Chains A and B, each alone.
Chain A
C-alpha cells in the first residue's frame, strides 16, 4: 500500500515541477519564438513562393534558390564584399591593435584623450558618417577637390570605379577602428601586471612582451573582432547606399548583397527573391564566421 502511494505521488510531483519550470522559461520562449525564430521561418517560407505584380502568388519550391545560384548579379556582389573583407578587415584590425597596444604601453601622454578621440567616430551614426565623408570626397568643392587643385591634377577620385571600394573601406575603417581598439584595450587591461614584471626580470624587452604576453592574451578578442568585422562586411549597406546618390553609376543597385536584397524588395517588389538572397547570405555569413571561430579557438587551445 505504502509503496503504491509513493510511486503515484512521485510522478505527480515531477509533472508539477516541470510545469512550474515552463512558467519561468515561458515568457522568454514566447519572445524568443516570436521575435527570433518566427521571422526566420517566415523568411524561409517566403523563399518558397513567388509573388508577381500580375497573377498574385504561387508556390514555386526551390526555384528561387536555383535562380539565385545562376544570378551573376548576386555573385558579383558577393565577390565585391569578399574582396572588401579581405583587404579592409586586416587593415582595420592591425590599426586597432597598434592603437590599443600604444594606449596600453603607458608611455603616451594624454592617453585618455586619444582613447576617446579614436573611439569617437564609432559614436557617430553610420548614416551621418557616410554623409560627412560624402562631402569630404566631393571632387569639386570637397577636401578632395582642394587637394587635387593643390597638386595640380586629379590624383584623388574617390567616386571613380577604381577607387570606390577603397573610399568605402576608408569610411568603415574610420568608423569601427575605435570600437575594435576598445575590445583589444579592455582585454589588455585584464592581463595581470605581475606577468610584465616577471618578463622584465627575465630580461624581455617591450616587443618581446608584446609578442610573448600581450598578443596571446588578445587571441580571443581578435577572433571576436574578426567575426564581428566579417559579419559587418557582408552586411555592408549604409555607406554604399548613401554614396550612391553621389556616384549613381559606379555604385550599382546590386553593389553589395544587402543592397541587392533591399532593391529587389523595395524597388522591384520581388519580396520572395529578396528573402532568398537574405537567407543564402545569412547561411554564408554563419558558415564563414563559424569557421573563423573554430580555427581561432583551436589556436587558442594550442
Chain B
C-alpha cells in the first residue's frame, strides 16, 4: 500500500512540478502509511481495553438501520469515545467511495460495513487491518461457520460478521391458497407451480428475477457449484462447473418460457408486486422479514417462510447477502477502531439493538436462543419463522469463495448473463460470456486466471 502511495505521489510531483511542497506531502503520506501498517499488525486484546479507556474519535461508515442506535449505546457505555456515523451510500455506492479513498490514500473511515462478497476485494488490496493480533481469533466460536469463513481467510481475520443471510423461500400463502398451489420442495415442483400460476392468471408470476449477480451466485452455491476460487493472486473462474450448470439448466425453464416477472428487484413496482400477490415467492436471505414488514406492509399476514426448494430433496441452501464490519488500514487509531468493532458485533447490548431492528444474526448464541426461535411475528401469520431460518443456516455448503474482484464482476452481470434474461435465451451462454470477461479482466489486473 505504501509503495502505491509513493508511486502515485511521485507521479503527482512529476505532473504538478511544485517540487518542494509535493515532496513534503509524499514523505508524510509514506510516513503515515507505514506507521498505521505497523500499528495494525502489532497489538493485543489488552490494547483494545486501553484504547477504550483513553478514548478518542473514530468514523464509522454504515447503512444498517441499527447503526444510529448502536453508536448511541456505545457512546453511552464509553463516554470517552466519539463515533461519527456516516451513511456513505448503500453497498456498491459505499464500496466506490471506499475504493476511491483507499486509492487517494486518505479519507477512508476507521470502521466500515462491507458485505461478505466484497471483503476479498478490499483484503486483496491490503486495505484492511488484520485483527488476529487483537485477539479476535478468540471470538471465532461466537459465530456460525459460514459468516466467519467470509471474514477470516488466508490465515488472517479481516473483520467481524454482523448479519447473515441463509436462504429460504418466502411465499405468499394467500396466492398459493387461491390457486391451489402446494409449497414446492424441489425445483421441478417449483417450476410446475410457476407454470400453473401463470397459466391461471397471466399477471401473476412465481417470482421476479431480471438477472441479479448476488442471487445467481447464491443459487449456484446452493446447487453445489464452486465457480470461483482464489488463492493469493491465482484465480480460477469456471461458470460451467456442475453446480453452475445445474442451476442454469433448471432456471432456464423459467427464463426461456417467460415465467419470471420482469420487474427489477428493489424497484417501486417490485414492492407493489410483493404486496398485491403478482410476485408469489422470493428465494432470498433470512434478512428479508425485516424488509417485508417495513416496506410491504400491505401484505401483512399473507407471507410465510419455507425451506429452499432443492434439486434432489436433500435439504441444502446457501448464503445470500449479509456482511460485517472491517477496520481500515488508514485508521489513525486502529486499536480504538478494533475495540469499537469488537463491541459492535459481539457485545450483547449491541446485538440486542441489531435484532430489534429486524436483522438476522450471525452469532450462535442468538441463533440458538429459545427466545429468538420462539418469535412468531403477526406479519407471518404467527409462524415461527426463525425456526425455518435458523435451520437453513445449518445447511450451507462450505468452501464457497467469491472473486477478489467480485464488485466489478457483479457490475457487468447485466451486460452478460442479463442478456440471456432479456432475450429469454440460454443462461449458460450468458454465464460463458461472463466467465470470459472475468478471465480477461483478471489477467489485465495482474492475476493469474485460469
Contacts and interface: CB of A to CB of B under 8 A. Distances in A.
Interface string B75-118: 00000000000000000100010011001000000000000000
A45 B273 CA distance: 50
A53 B447 contact: yes
Q: How large is the interface on B (under 10, 10 to 19, 20 to 34, 35 or more residues)?
A: 35 or more
Contacts of A45: 11, 14-15
B240 interface: no
Contact of B267 (A38, A42, A161, A246): A246
Contact of B418 (A135, A140, A249): A249
Given A56-B3, A267-B407, A140 B447 contact: no
Contact of B15 (A42, A53, A270): A42
B100 A266 contact: yes
Contacts of A53: 124-125, 404-405, 445-447
B15 A141 contact: no
Interface stretch (B66-74, B185-193, B408-416): B408-416
Interface stretch (A113-121, A214-222, A250-258): A250-258
B415 A245 contact: no
Contacts of B278: 140
Nearest to A54: B446
B414 A57 contact: no
A35 B313 CA distance: 64
A120 B263 CA distance: 31
Given A138-B268, A250-B422, A271 B103 contact: yes
Nearest to A244: B414
Given A53-B405, A253-B411, A141 B422 contact: no
A32 B412 CA distance: 38
A55 B421 CA distance: 36
A111 interface: no
A105 interface: no
B36 interface: no
Interface string A131-164: 0000100101110000000000000000001000
**Among B4, B103, B263, B446, residue most surrounded by chain A Cβ atoms (within 10 Å):** B446
Contact of B211 (A135, A249, A251, A266): A249
Interface size bucket, A side? 35 or more
A296 B14 CA distance: 41
Contacts of A170: none
A246 B103 CA distance: 31
Contacts of B96: 266-267
Contacts of A49: 11
B7 interface: yes
A124 to B, nearest CB: 19
A254 B415 contact: yes
A248 interface: yes
Contacts of B446: 52-55
Given A45-B15, A52-B446, A140-B269, A249 B407 contact: no
Contacts of B7: 56-57
Interface in A226-283: 244-254, 263, 266-271
Contacts of B103: 269, 271
B269 A54 contact: no
A41 B96 CA distance: 24
Contacts of B8: 57
Nearest to A131: B268
Given A53-B445, A56-B3, A138-B268, A266 B15 contact: no
Interface in A167-185: none
Contacts of B421: 249
Nearest to B267: A246
Given A54-B233, A268-B441, A38 B415 contact: no
A47 to B, nearest CB: 12
Nearest to B413: A248
Contact of B268 (A135, A247, A268): A135
A123 B11 CA distance: 41
B226 to A, nearest CB: 22
B264 A248 contact: yes
B408 A267 contact: yes
B314 interface: no
Nearest to A248: B414
Contacts of B211: 248-249
Nearest to A34: B16
B85 to A, nearest CB: 24
A141 B298 CA distance: 16
Contacts of B418: 248-249
Contacts of B447: 53-54
B104 to A, nearest CB: 11
Interface in A22-53: 38, 41-42, 45, 49, 51-53
B258 interface: no
A138 B266 CA distance: 14
Contacts of A57: 4, 7-8, 11
B97 to A, nearest CB: 9
A4 to B, nearest CB: 41
Contacts of B210: 248-249
Nearest to A138: B269
Contacts of B100: 266
A68 to B, nearest CB: 13
Contacts of A248: 210-211, 264, 414, 418
A186 B170 CA distance: 60
A154 to B, nearest CB: 11
B342 interface: no
A142 B269 CA distance: 9
B263 to A, nearest CB: 7
Closest 10 A/B residue pairs (Cβ): A54-B446, A249-B418, A267-B411, A52-B446, A55-B446, A249-B422, A53-B445, A248-B414, A252-B415, A266-B96
Given A244-B414, A266-B99, A267-B96, 19 more contacts: A45-B11, A45-B14, A51-B4, A53-B446, A53-B447, A56-B3, A57-B7, A135-B268, A140-B272, A140-B273, A142-B269, A245-B267, A246-B267, A247-B264, A248-B418, A249-B419, A253-B412, A267-B407, A267-B408
22 contacts: A38-B16, A49-B11, A52-B445, A53-B405, A53-B447, A57-B4, A135-B268, A138-B269, A141-B272, A244-B414, A246-B264, A246-B267, A247-B264, A248-B210, A249-B418, A249-B421, A254-B415, A266-B96, A266-B99, A267-B411, A269-B99, A269-B103
Interface of B: 3-4, 7-8, 11, 14-16, 92, 96, 99-100, 103, 124-125, 210-211, 233, 263-264, 266-269, 272-273, 278, 404-405, 407-408, 411-412, 414-415, 418-419, 421-422, 441, 444-447
